[in-house]
Amino acid sequence: MTRRLAPDGSPRVPEPAGPRRNSVVDCALYVGGKRRSGTWTYAEALAAARQTDDGFVWLGLHEPELAEMTEIAATYGLHELAVEDAVKAQQRPKLEQFGDVSFLVLRTARYCEHTELTETSEVVETGQVMLFIGPNFLISVRHGDACRLAPVRADLETKEELLLHGPWAVAYAVTDRVVDLYLEVADQLEDDLDILEAEVFDRQATGRIQRIYQMKRELVEFKRAVMPLQRPLMTLTAQMNRDVPKEIRRYFRDVQDHLSRTVEQVNSYDDLLNSILQARLAQVTVDQNNDMRKIAAWAAIAAVWTAIAGIYGMNFEFMPELRWTYGYPTILALMLGISLALYRWFRRNGWL
């Protein structure tokens, strides 16, 4: 019987039984900071990596189903709770430890281009990336298209010295890409807020308050992605963390600095948006007060005609100018004169 061998000459490990899925985006074996050529299954790549001192596997998955993820977990020794979280993709950013495997959850964000901010505009699209970081492997599970990892892989493969640090170098590169996208989203959100602020404080302000609420919702969604990541990064950069190589901790500190800048921007945007919302509410209140004053002024003018006409409509026998030939036009002139006087007075006081 002919024995099948892997591309590097090592014995081929059978792939676990089960249906083939399309969630595997890429499976690469890195040895000495370089990618080994050939096509690898995730089981073959792991077996080959374990035969070297400086080899590791980067397995990239996109929205895997539970059955396939369970097979991969059996091969790589992943904890069932982390596997369940990776499939559901409804987690906050966090860092958990399961034996010698670290489980890092990141929420990704991407700015959605739009010509005009409306009441239903999607400004920020979010997704998730989960990383399983083991001694000789890294598994990235991506949900959504807010952050594609192919450019990260291509860039990282040109940096052999960084790849020599193993799976944590990949974890740094992915985290750095996610946080860089945060910065891009924050900068573009600033432009939207500037436009929204200019419209609200314009002399002829016509901005609907629903647009401000929509922007508020989108900012909250972005905030949920950014803010919780601070704690995991603090853990990764701590001196007592021996799982992360010392050199990679320095890289993570740079990511932490970028995240801190984004957090400051998001907090300032939140405060600014609250101010814009309060200003618009105040404008609406002022507009309503102005409308009420105009209505009251016109009602006062109309009351003059109503009162005088009502008195003469009582048909009393003895009334002023009742038998006078010019009584009717005189009363009309009196009503018109009082109305004009009230109109000028209301105009002078800003009611009309």
CA distance linking residue 15 with residue 12, whole number of Å? 9
Q: Which residues contact 287 (CB under 8 A, 6 or more apart)?
A: none
Residue 27's DSSP bridge partners are 59
**CB 267, CB 223: distance < 8 Å:** no
The pLDDT value recorded for residue 313 is: 67
Residue 203, token pair as written in the block: 């002399």
Least confident segment among 37-46, 65-74, 198-207, 251-260:
198-207
Give the integer Cα–Cα distance in Å for 243 and 109: 27
- Cα–Cα distance between 281 and 277 in angstroms, integer? 6
pLDDT tens for each residue of 130-187? 999 999 999 999 999 889 999 999 999 999 999 999 999 999 999 999 999 999 999 9
Task: Please report the domains of the chain, with CATH numbers, ordered by start residue.
Answer: 24-284 (3.30.460.20), 286-348 (1.20.58.340)
Is the alpha carbon torsion for 59, 62, 63, 67 positive or negative? negative
> Is 129 within 8 Å of 140 (Cβ atoms)?
yes
pLDDT value for 20: 52
Banded model confidence at residue 5, pLDDT cuts 50, 70, 90: very low
Average pLDDT over residues 12-16: 48
**C-alpha of 32 from chain center:** 38
Which residue intervals of the chain are DSSP H helices?
42-50, 66-76, 80-88, 150-156, 160-163, 167-200, 209-226, 230-237, 246-312, 327-348
| Tens digits of residue pLDDT in 225-260 | 999 999 999 999 987 777 888 899 999 999 999 999
Predicted model pTM = 0.75
Classify burial at 93, counting beta carbons within 10 Å of its beta carbon; exposed 0-12, middle 13-18, buried 19 or more. buried
Residue 34 pLDDT: 92
Banded pLDDT at 278 (limits 50, 70, 90): confident
pLDDT at residue 203 tops 70: no
The string of pLDDT tens digits covering residues 289-346 is: 777 877 877 887 778 777 777 766 666 665 666 666 666 677 777 778 887 887 788 7
φ/ψ of residue 129, rounded to 5: -130, 125
The pLDDT of residue 323: 66
Flag whether pLDDT at 11 surpasses 70.
no
d(CA 159, CA 348): 76
Q: How confident is the model at residue 3 (pLDDT cuts 50, 70, 90)?
A: very low
DSSP sequence for 313-328? TT--SS-TTTT-TTHH
The whole-number pLDDT of residue 132 equals 96
Q: Is pLDDT of 202 > 50?
A: yes
Determine what percent of the chain is predicted with pLDDT higher than 90.
47
Supply φ then ψ for residue 168, to 5 degrees. Answer: -70, -25
